[in-house]
Amino acid sequence: MNHSELKAKALSNPETLAAYESMDVEFSLLRQMLAAREKAGLSQAQVASRMGTKATAITRLESSLSSGKHSPSLITLRRYAQAVGCELEVKLVKSKSL
């Protein structure tokens, strides 16, 4: 079974699908962070150095978004964005469910 088949099978369960969809914002942010770091040509260690922290902190930051176990502060996200040559933009959008 490949990844796509496994994902489709897992998401056929309504509870799993709801949990997955509830993390859409975190997954989107993680994809953006990883893409920005890659575009900047930086390793986690280089981002950490620019932020004045250790590479393990960047590993935890990036992995925490995919696990949903931790929500980084806006200050941390802003520092990460600056380290990869970006700006952090936060906005509220009208809910699709209303």
Q: Considering the chain, what is the average pLDDT of its residues? A: 90
Q: pLDDT above 70 covers what percent of the chain?
A: 98
Give tens-digit pLDDT for 6-53.
Answer: 988 988 998 988 887 777 888 889 999 999 999 999 999 999 999 999
Q: Read out DSSP for 6-72? A: HHHHHHTSHHHHHHHHHTHHHHHHHHHHHHHHHHHT--HHHHHHHHTS-HHHHHHHHHHHHHTS---
Collapsing DSSP states into helix, strand and coil, what is residue 81?
helix
- Yes or no: is domain 3-83 CATH 1.10.260? yes
Task: Please tell me the predicted confidence (pLDDT) of residue 88.
Answer: 96
Task: Please tell me the predicted confidence (pLDDT) of residue 40.
Answer: 98
